[in-house]
Amino acid sequence: TPDAGREDVRSKQEKKVKEEMGPFLEQREEVRAVLIARPRGWTMSKGDDPLGVSEALGGRKQQKAHSAAEEAGIRLASPGGLVLTNKRLLTVQTGEALGMGIGGSVKDVLSAVPIADVDSMKVKRLLLGYVVTLTVRGSEFKLETNAAAGAKPMAEALERAKGEARS
């Protein structure tokens, strides 16, 4: 396909993660897209709520995301992200991004699944970011990401990669 070698990396931190993935890749594996994301509920848990209600609700949402991801053999991190290659979808743990290209380095690959095991990725705009619903091996979990992140390009790159894997 004409887009087969295309990459979808938008933010500075996503570009940095892509550049640092070399040691974690298999032979003939190349990064197609990167998405910096956290388990759904992280932003809510950091809200300024003197009663702690948002912290509790956000914490529950994060736990739900972690549990559902674990059912599919996926480990999530915060901060962290998704890395799509031509062969696999990986989850990575990163350092905290401090801005201006400082921080946010890849610390570890937490899990990897073949592209064929990824059922779907849906992206929904929400206020200042996106909610990403990922279904892997029949288990659905949600992530959240900011507006600068490449959520839609990641979903599009996944569809292209799934098509390549089938052909």
pLDDT digits (tens, 9 = 90+) for 16-59: 889 999 999 999 999 999 998 888 654 554 556 556 555 556 55
Q: Give the per-residue pLDDT at 140.
A: 92
Q: pLDDT band at residue 100, thresholds of 50, 70 and 90?
A: low
Q: Give the per-residue pLDDT at 42.
A: 47
Q: Give the per-residue pLDDT at 124.
A: 92
Query: In this model, does residue 103 exceed pLDDT 80?
Result: no
Which CA distances in Å does 22 have to 3, 101, 156, 166? 21, 19, 23, 25
Mean pLDDT computed over 83-91 = 95
- Entry pTM: 0.80
Percent of the chain clearing pLDDT 90 (strictly above): 40
Residue with tokens 């070399």: 22
Residue predicted with more confidence, 5 or 85: 85
Answer whether 67's CB lies under 8 Å from 74's CB.
Answer: no
Query: In this model, does residue 115 exceed pLDDT 80?
Result: yes
Q: pLDDT band at residue 63, thresholds of 50, 70 and 90?
A: confident
State the distance between the two ends of the chain, measured CA to CA, in whole angstroms: 10
Query: In this model, does residue 157 exceed pLDDT 60?
Result: yes
Instruction: Render pLDDT for 120-151 as a digit per residue (tens, 0 to 9).
Output: 999 998 877 899 999 999 999 899 888 878 88
Answer whether 89's CB lies under 8 Å from 83's CB.
Answer: yes
Mean pLDDT of the chain: 81
